[in-house]
Structure 1
Amino acid sequence: MAIRLIVKHPDPVLRERAQEVTKFNANLHKLLDDMADTMYDADGVGLAAPQIGILKRIFVVDADEEHGLIELINPEIVSKEGEQLGVEGCLSIPGLQGDVRRANKVVIKGFNRYGEPVQYEGTELLARAFQHELDHLNGVLFIDLAESVYEARKLAPEQGGE
């Protein structure tokens, strides 16, 4: 396990669409472990593979104690409900935050590290984190969606901010 370098905006890799994962093997397991270590080291709520320069459809999220660390490979949102407007930040865009409108509840599916299908339901912060990280896999950043962007202030733990 290792801490990886987080790619910073405006690096062009952050604007590319990540590719589907087809091999579920020891290399993928190491990558997932490194991503979790990197996210925790940076005090993040989530981290997508493109944020460490790897264009694969993978992200990790740890937004609440109920679910703990979630690893998702080739994720897709199955359904969205409601609406929330909240503050987001990003490990790849230090110093900025923005107010982003997102679905308040999402159901997301994908695969775990072993290639087994998994599905999660998230509300509030977890739903926001799923949507934020999935956007990274499509080359979309929170600053593209924000209703306003401003200098970062320290977020309370329940606000997340990646």
Structure 2
Amino acid sequence: MDEKTRQNNTYLTFFLDEELYGLNIQMVREVLEFTAITRVPMTADFMRGVINVRGHVVPVIDLRKKFGLAEGERTAETCIIIVELEIDGEAATMGALVDGVKEVLDIPTEQIDAAPRLGSRLDTRFIAGIGKLADAFVILLNIDEIFSDRELSMIAGLRQQVEEQEE
């Protein structure tokens, strides 16, 4: 298997409410310990605020809230995954607050099933697939599909607003 193919099937796995999720490693820039997040007023409830990452304003979203899960306790394992995504054709950086990171896994294509159809009430477009491990399933996320265009515009606007206030 060549390096590009291997990279496409390599996932950073993490926990939300005791469920295992994965993000393609190509989307992940780094993992940070939990740090103070500056709340920005008048934003969606899943928007936790912004953090400073080496001089850059990075919006942080709470994946638990985005997925409609109960708010979790902050622990020593709570962290922020910094991801790269595309907003209006431009690369953007965003933080995702998660309960804890587990490990980086290679999941062969033959061990990944398509997202299950769960009826019309549940939006599964953000699920890239379900990885089958020996003892568990990994819900593989498509980070670009997790947010609507309106939400992505809001995130981009938030970053711009904070940067203008700092000038």
Asked if TM exceeds 0.5, the reply is: no
Task: Please report the TM-score for the alignment, with normalisation by the length of structure 1.
Answer: 0.28
- Give the structure-2-normalised TM-score: 0.27
Bigger helix fraction: 1
More strand by share: 2
Which of 1 and 2 has higher RCO (CA within 8 Å, sep 6+)? Answer: 1
Computing the radius of gyration from Cα coordinates, the structure with the larger value is 2
